[in-house]
Structure 1
Amino acid sequence: MQRNNEDKVNAEFKRITTINLQSKFFSSLDINSTSLIDVYTKKGGVQGKKIKSIMLPVTQTDSIDVRRECILKGLCVYFNEDPEKLVKEYMSIDNSSQTAMAETVLGIFVIRHEGAEPGDDPENVAIILEGVKVLDDLGNVSFAVAMMFAFEALQKIMMELDGNRLSTKGQVLKTLLSRA
């Protein structure tokens, strides 16, 4: 049943935009990943330190899923957003995680095994909307972000949708990526 929901999201996106969501999202993310990492390494101050700590798992594993997740979390920080508001991580489903899920307006929940290493697959990745799991067992954070498709940078830069109407910070990032 779960796969059916993902297929419906992909089909609706393609119907509206004529673009294959997953292949476009992941190819654009991968093509821009080196340039984004370059932008991140030049970032100074508190944001730069936070991005460096977010990117640390990339040095510990060759997993493409880890790389994509770190790049997406770094993008949150770059745009002055808290990546923990987008991606909430827990070691198990207990009362505190269930309460947090119920209070979430829009977010991604990741349940990881106790002692999990950066390259280890999570137990579960889900999208929560208005306190309800709308998609479950998504496998990894980057796939969940592709399904959620909520951020301006993802919609306008990665997917090239309405890219002429960017915030100033979004326009600067798009310019930096086009020079790389």
Structure 2
Amino acid sequence: MGNYRTKLSRAGIKDVAVNAGKRSSSNPEGASPRANIKRPRRGEVQFLPNYPRGENKETLETRRMEMLEEFKKTPADRDMVLVHQHMQRTFPLRREEIVTLAPPIAELKERWPALFSEAQLYGEFHRITNQSLQYSFFAALDKNTPQLLELYKERKTGAFGKKMADLMMAYDEQDKNDISATRTAALAGLPLYLKEDSSVIFKSCKEEEFEAFQEGAVALVAVVAEENMAAGIRFQPLHESVIMEDQVVMSLRSWTDALMVLFGLIYALNLNYPAKLSGFFEFIQVVLLNLDDGRKQLKPKLQALKNYLE
């Protein structure tokens, strides 16, 4: 396999060559080792693709500039068909920037504004994983929700058990015909079941306090009208904001939609999972979306939960 990867690298296959730096004392002019480049370990079928046939960096940059001009127009006047076509075509250029340079979020928003719209984010996730984020996420969540809620009702001991009881009590007050509330309860209980502290990532505030909450590398901030509720999760927020690197990158109406978008952004922007919720996001990756095709070695508690749901 080593010889095979060397041949691929020499042939210019980017997702192999990006990790193949050979600088040494005997070859000081060689490419530097790519020790900090993250490998495709989360089911990315297109981690770092080559440019399309007939395209080069200059032609793809021209397409990017055309998209920027479209986003200077009002939403009603934008040619979204053209934007979609150019997003599809410029995918290799975008991934090359994101994977090799890891630019700040503010720079990415400026260069690729379409990436921070729901439709194009879902398209990007499909290009990376060959999977529909919306359909796969909600289909798997709805399938596992009854078992998850039954499991949560059994957890009653310790600090996390108390928070779980508060969450389930708050859920009991919701309209059971509201699928959004049921999905919220199923997802909000996961960090508590896995004994992970979600308070740094999942936040809530009043409208007048919102500006003070726009901090953190990654966060979901719910703007609410009522007082604090269980586990920091709002069943009926005024709106939800996805925060990255101290700025709002997207806003949505429901907590489950915002969480799904956050997961999609982690893939699209090649980010690590938040350390305090790594098990939670691995559950979404491996159990809900079945990325990595079951090859990933899970933590014992996460593996036990996966076995229970199967």
**Could you say which TM-score interval applies, normalised by the shorter chain?**
0.7 to 0.9
Q: 207, 224, 237: which is aligned to 1:122?
A: 237
What are structure 1's unaligned runs of at least 5 residues?
none
Q: TM-score, normalised by structure 2?
A: 0.52
Relative to structure 1, is the Cα distance of residues 164 and 14 closer, same or farther in structure 2, using a 3 angstrom cutoff?
same
- Contact 1:127–1:135, Cα closer than 8 Å, also in 2: yes
The correspondence for 2:139, drawn from 27, 38, 47, is 27
Which one has the bigger strand percentage? Answer: 1
The answer to whether structure 1 residue 69 and structure 2 residue 200 are counterparts is no
In structure 1, the residue corresponding to 2:242 is in which secondary structure? Answer: strand
* 3-state secondary structure, aligned to 2:199: helix
> Are the equivalent residues in 1 in contact too, given 2:217–2:246 (CA < 8 A)?
yes
Name the SS for the 2:204 alignment partner: strand
Distance 1:28 1:53, change over 3 A: same
Partner of 1:139: 253
Using the alignment, how far apart are the partners of 1:176 and 1:147 within structure 2? 27
- Return the structure number with greater relative CO, CA threshold 8 A, min gap 6: 1
* Change in CA separation of 1:114 and 1:57 when aligned onto 2, cut-off 3 Å: closer
Q: Which amino acid aligns with 1:171?
A: Q
Say whether 1:5 aligns with 2:5.
no
Shift in Å, 1:57: 2.4
Give the distance between the partners of 2:153 and 2:207, measured in 1 at CA.
33
Structure 1: which 4+ aligned runs deviate by more than 6 Å? 115-120
Residue by residue, what CA displacement relative to the aligned partner does 1:59-115 show, whole Å, maximum 9, x if unpaired?
112222122112211101112222322221112232xx422322x111101101247
Structure 2 CA distance for partners of 1:69 and 1:120, relative to 1, 3 Å: closer
How far apart in 2 are the matches of 1:119 and 1:141?
7
Question: Which structure: larger Rg?
Answer: 2
Tell me whether 1:88 sits opposite 2:203 in the alignment. yes
Residue in 1 aligned with 2:171?
Answer: 58
RMSD: 2.5
- Residue range with higher mean Cα deviation, 3-12 or 124-133: 3-12
Cα pair distance change 1:119/1:86, threshold 3 Å: closer
Gaps of 5+ in 2: 1-74, 76-112, 264-272, 274-280
Query: Is the CA contact 1:113–1:123 (under 8 Å) kept in the aligned structure 2?
Result: yes
Provide the rounded CA distance (Å) in 1 between the counterparts of 2:235 and 2:125: 30
% identical equivalent positions: 28
Q: TM-score, normalised by structure 1?
A: 0.86
Separation in 2, partners of 1:23, 1:59: 27
CA distance in 2, matches of 1:139, 1:34: 24
For the pair 1:98 / 2:201, whether they are aligned, the reply is: no
User: Number of residues paired by the alignment?
Assistant: 174
